[in-house]
């Protein structure tokens, strides 16, 4: 989880310098001429990516076959039920397969080694049935140098591991071979034009203090996400991790879906059900590092320090206390690329959010480094070219094999061309996360009075993104929900969160301000901040508590490792108003599609009035952040003439507002230029409110009920 300060890379609006397409990795220079001095570095990384593709074509028959490593390595069962197990462990002297199937006999099933250090064993069927029973325990037993010591390891490509905490915290490997394979019923949905992403963690998705299951998420949480209007889910902590409190960021078994939440087929059912609802499902994939666990991880797998990782200090992340992959190694590329293919093929995920991309891009991993946005920071010796090239290969493979797939980069550095395709010299992601946006809100809520909020700085932060590279905007994610930090509503209403969120209590100035700004912050982020939007589960209604997983420091309590969705269902609590507003915001975007529309035109940033006005997707957006002043007949510019009406209004009583803005009001334009727009209209904008206006002819006949109900 990158928690560094994001650099603000200036938006580049230059026109192509040449109509000639460059095919040497410098095509991106036509989009951003400031990259010209770094053409040699662009050529170098592009050339290395092309060389890898050529090598893979020559030695492996192409990347499509190469990335199906899980069909060669690990356990695979042929149609006649013969089991073949292969493992790469070149440092080992001998290898044996052990498990329940042979009474854990360490010598009976010896494996054979090929010239490349790959060990293999074939087990013929017993009376037509697999020699290893389904879901029984297995391990690989290795004889290693250093006095030929014996050690047992969890197979690297294993597809299921389980943990019995009453016996041992170490995982057990399971031979997963169900007699009936799960049959997916629904096709993947089309790639969403506007990705409205709901970031979710299965285990915390229950009001009860426990680890929730895949089945519970399918039954209880998926309908909630669909009804809110989100069309994409980003699932966290799915790849198996030894420590629950790591939030899934210390992976020990890369091909295993976490057994904490249930069986593999339960996860498949979750994804299948989401697809039936038209929802895209992304996996939060961790290829930036790995758990340093030896007994149930990849670390020291064959007793060498450098099997999947760099040797010595380069192979260790000093802040995350984890191991770092050697992205320049043939077998590591096979492992990681195959891992992506596996999740796409076996579970039918629709793409990935890559965690910790900053760590992968730079040899310093972002540790102790502040990014100013200067281009010299993105090239040169501090860049891990192997890491860059791996991400190029991963994105190229995914987008070629799965044209509708989505990839997202969590990068705080502002690396240019991160979201430009490989053919132009880019790294190939679809989106990058706008990590500077939530930092701004938290900083202001900590340090500034409302009257000192800078409208120009707010607009700059929300629109400061690279031309031609898509950005995901968010007001807060899981990072801001973790213990040690506070959610936005907590920052806004901390003093009265537990006393005045009931409709039976006084609507105090603290709660009124908190709810108003919570809605306004989300609306301006959603509309101005990017080409997609993300929310962490529970934050849409201002979840009242932080997130803290059971650990020794809190007596292993689940009290904060849950989402209290029951608060929304209580009509006496004000959380439901925030939930209804979020719902209204998502469904209004579904109708008007501002996220996939060109960037907004901002016509007004008035520091004294604290008013921001802009147009996007044919809508007129008006925000009054002033803490005490309302404005009557406030003149705002608009390009398109006509009659406008309200389609979304933060002050609507259905959203917990004061009802000062009348949704039925019709606003007529005057043919007179204002703020560089051809027309103007006049509106009443109360303090701490925002409204979205649309031309009357775009409204549905029942527009009034849609606004009032929030969908």
Is residue 628 within 8 A of residue 699, CB to CB? The reply is: no
The position carrying tokens 């017993």 is 126
Torsion over CA: 488, 492, 495, 500 (sign): negative
Q: What is the pLDDT of residues 12-53, one digit of tens each?
A: 333 343 444 578 999 999 999 999 999 999 999 999 999 999
The helix or strand, by DSSP H or E, that contains position 515, with its residue range, turns out to be: helix 509-528
Region at 312 (left for phi over 0; alpha for psi -120 to 50; beta for the rest): left
pLDDT band at 149 (very low <50, low <70, confident <90, very high): confident
CA 90 from chain center: how many Å?
Answer: 35
Q: Give Cβ neighbours of residue 139 (< 8 Å, ≥ 6 apart).
A: 97, 98, 99, 152, 153, 154, 155, 173
Using alpha carbons, select from 561, 510, 564 the residue that is nearest to residue 542.
564
The answer to whether 395 and 446 have CB atoms below 8 angstroms apart is no
Cα 449 to Cα 194, 234, 444, 611, distances in angstroms: 34, 34, 8, 16
Q: Which domains does the chain have, with CATH numbers?
A: 69-174 (2.60.40.10), 599-709 (2.60.40.1180)
Q: Which of 300, 311, 317, 306 is nearest to 360 (CA)?
A: 317
Q: Is 410 a catalytic residue?
A: yes
Query: How far lies 452's CA from each of 449, 493, 513, 626, 634, in Å?
Result: 5, 19, 15, 10, 21
Kindly indicate the confidence band of residue 4, based on its pLDDT and cuts at 50, 70 and 90: very low
Using an 8 Å Cβ cutoff, are 671 and 542 in contact? no
Q: Tell me the average pLDDT across 574-594.
A: 98
Question: What is the tens place of the pLDDT at every residue in 509-539?
Answer: 999 999 999 999 999 999 999 999 999 999 9
Element (H, E) at 63: helix 63-66
pLDDT tier at 148, thresholds 50, 70, 90: confident
Find where tokens 């006496």 sit: 572
Q: What is the mean pLDDT of residues 399-416?
A: 96
pLDDT at 15: 38
Q: What is the reported pLDDT for 703? A: 52
User: Residue for token digits 């570095």?
Assistant: 41
- pLDDT, mean over the chain: 93
Tell me the pLDDT band of 702, cut-offs 50, 70 and 90. Answer: low
- Separation CA 399–CA 393 (nearest Å): 10
pLDDT of 695 reads 97
**Catalytic one of 350, 410, 545, 651:** 410
Instruction: Give the distance between the most distant pair of CA atoms in the chain.
Output: 90
pLDDT in tens, 267-319: 999 999 999 999 999 999 999 999 999 999 999 999 999 999 999 999 999 99
In the 8-state DSSP scheme, what is residue 34? G
pLDDT tens per residue, range 475-522 = 998 888 776 678 899 999 988 998 999 999 999 999 999 999 999 999
pLDDT of residue 484: 67
Which three-class secondary structure state does DSSP give residue 66? helix
Q: Which residues contact 219 (CB under 8 A, 6 or more apart)?
A: none
pLDDT in tens, 325-368: 999 999 999 999 999 999 999 999 999 999 999 999 999 999 98
9: DSSP letter: P
Q: CA 371 → CA 314, 375, 475, distances in Å?
A: 22, 10, 21
* Backbone phi and psi for residue 60, each to the nearest 5 degrees, phi listed first: -125, -5
**Residue 58, φ and ψ in degrees, nearest 5:** -75, -40
**Gyration radius (Cα) of the chain, Å:** 27
Q: Which residue has the tokens 């044209």?
A: 403
Cα angle 45, 50, 55; round to 5 = 125
CA distance 464 to 424: 22
Q: Which tens digit of pLDDT belongs to each residue from 338-348?
A: 999 999 999 99
Catalytically annotated residue among 6, 348, 355, 582:
355
Distance of CA 697 to the CA centre of its chain: 37
Separation of alpha carbons 501 and 589, rounded Å: 28
Say what the pTM is: 0.95
Which H or E run includes 280?
strand 280-285
């Amino acid at each position: 989880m990158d928690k560094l300060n994001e650099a603000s890379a200036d938006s580049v609006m230059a026109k192509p310098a040449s109509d000639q397409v460059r095919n040497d990795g410098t095509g991106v220079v036509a989009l951003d001429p400031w990259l010209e001095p770094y053409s040699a570095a662009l050529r170098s990384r592009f050339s290395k990516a092309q060389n890898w593709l050529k090598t893979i074509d020559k030695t492996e028959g192409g990347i499509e076959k190469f990335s199906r490593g899980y069909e060669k390595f690990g356990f695979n069962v042929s149609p006649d039920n013969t089991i073949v197990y292969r493992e790469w462990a070149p440092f080992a002297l001998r290898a044996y397969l052990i498990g329940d199937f042979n009474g854990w006999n360490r010598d009976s099933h010896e494996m054979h080694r090929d010239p490349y250090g790959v060990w293999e064993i074939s087990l013929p069927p017993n009376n037509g049935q697999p020699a290893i029973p389904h879901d029984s325990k297995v391990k690989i037993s290795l004889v290693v140098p250093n006095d030929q010591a014996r050690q047992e390891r969890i197979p690297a490509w294993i597809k299921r591991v389980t943990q019995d905490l009453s016996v041992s915290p170490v995982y057990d490997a399971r031979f997963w071979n169900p007699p009936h394979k799960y049959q997916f019923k629904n096709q993947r949905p089309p790639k969403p034009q506007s990705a409205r992403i709901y970031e979710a963690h299965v285990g915390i998705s229950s009001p009860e203090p426990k680890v929730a299951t895949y089945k519970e998420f399918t039954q209880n949480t998926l309908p909630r996400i669909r009804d809110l209007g989100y069309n994409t889910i980003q699932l966290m902590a799915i790849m198996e991790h030894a420590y629950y409190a790591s939030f899934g960021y210390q992976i020990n078994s890369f091909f295993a879906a976490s057994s904490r939440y249930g069986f593999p087929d339960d996860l498949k059912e979750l994804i299948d059900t989401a697809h039936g609802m038209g929802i895209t499902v992304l996996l939060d994939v961790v290829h930036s590092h790995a758990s340093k666990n030896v007994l149930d991880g990849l670390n020291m797998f064959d007793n060498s320090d450098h099997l999947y990782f760099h040797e010595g200090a380069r192979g260790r992340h000093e802040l995350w206390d984890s191991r770092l992959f050697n992205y320049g190694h043939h077998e590591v590329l096979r492992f990681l690329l195959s891992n992506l293919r596996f999740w796409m093929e076996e579970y039918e995920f629709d793409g990935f959010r890559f965690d910790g991309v900053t760590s992968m891009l730079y040899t310093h991993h972002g540790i102790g480094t502040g990014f100013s946005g200067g281009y010299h920071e993105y090239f040169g010796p501090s860049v891990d070219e192997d890491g860059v090239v791996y991400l190029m290969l991963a994105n190229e493979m995914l987008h070629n094999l799965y044209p509708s797939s989505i990839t997202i980069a969590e990068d705080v550095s502002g690396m240019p061309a991160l979201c430009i395709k490989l053919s132009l010299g880019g790294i190939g992601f679809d989106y990058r996360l706008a990590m500077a946006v939530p930092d701004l809100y938290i900083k202001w809520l900590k340090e500034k009075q409302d009257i000192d909020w800078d409208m120009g700085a707010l607009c700059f932060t929300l629109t400061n993104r690279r031309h031609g590279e898509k950005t995901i905007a968010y007001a807060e994610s899981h990072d801001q929900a973790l213990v040690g930090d506070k959610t936005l509503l907590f920052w806004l209403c901390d003093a009265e969160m537990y006393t005045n969120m009931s409709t039976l209590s006084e609507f105090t100035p603290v709660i009124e301000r908190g709810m108003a700004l919570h809605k306004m912050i989300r609306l301006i982020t959603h509309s101005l901040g990017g080409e997609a939007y993300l929310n962490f589960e529970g934050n849409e209604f201002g979840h009242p508590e932080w997130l803290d997983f059971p650990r020794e420091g809190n007596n292993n309590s689940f009290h904060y490792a849950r989402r209290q969705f029951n608060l929304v269902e209580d009509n006496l609590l004000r959380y439901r108003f925030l939930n209804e507003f979020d719902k209204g915001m998502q469904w209004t975007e579904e109708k008007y599609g501002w996220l996939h529309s060109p960037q907004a035109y901002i016509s007004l940033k008035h520091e004294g009035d604290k008013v921001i006005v802009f147009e996007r997707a044919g809508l007129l957006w008006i925000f009054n952040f002033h803490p005490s002043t309302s404005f009557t007949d406030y003149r705002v510019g608009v390009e398109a003439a006509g009659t406008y009406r309200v389609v979304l209004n933060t002050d609507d009583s259905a959203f917990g507002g004061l009802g000062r803005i009348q949704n039925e009001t019709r606003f007529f334009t005057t043919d007179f230029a204002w703020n560089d727009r051809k027309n103007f209209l006049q509106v009443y904008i109360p303090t701490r409110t925002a409204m979205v206006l649309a031309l009357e002819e775009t409204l549905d006949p029942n527009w009034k009920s849609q606004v009032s109900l929030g969908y």
